[in-house]
Structure 1
Amino acid sequence: MEKEICKISVASNWLGDEYIFYEDHTIKRVYDNHSLNSNKTEWLKPNEISKQSKDKIVKGCPEEFKEQVMQILDYP
Structure 2
Amino acid sequence: MKKEICKISVSSNWLGDEYIFYEDHTIKRVYDNHSLNSNKTEWLEPHQISKQNMDKLIKACPEECKEEIMHILDYP
> TM bucket by the smaller chain?
over 0.9
RMSD (Å) for aligned C-alpha atoms: 0.4
Cα distance in 2 for residues equivalent to 1:51 and 1:12:
16
Aligned residues: 76
How do residues 46-65 of structure 1 correspond to structure 2 at under 5 angstroms? 46-65=46-65
Q: Find the counterpart in structure 1 of residue 14 from structure 2.
A: 14
TM normalised by structure 1 equals: 0.99
Segments of 5+ residues of structure 2 without an aligned counterpart are none
Segments of 5+ residues of structure 1 without an aligned counterpart are none
TM normalised by structure 2 equals: 0.99
Runs of 4+ in 1 over 6 A off after TM superposition: none
The residue type paired with residue 41 of structure 2 is T
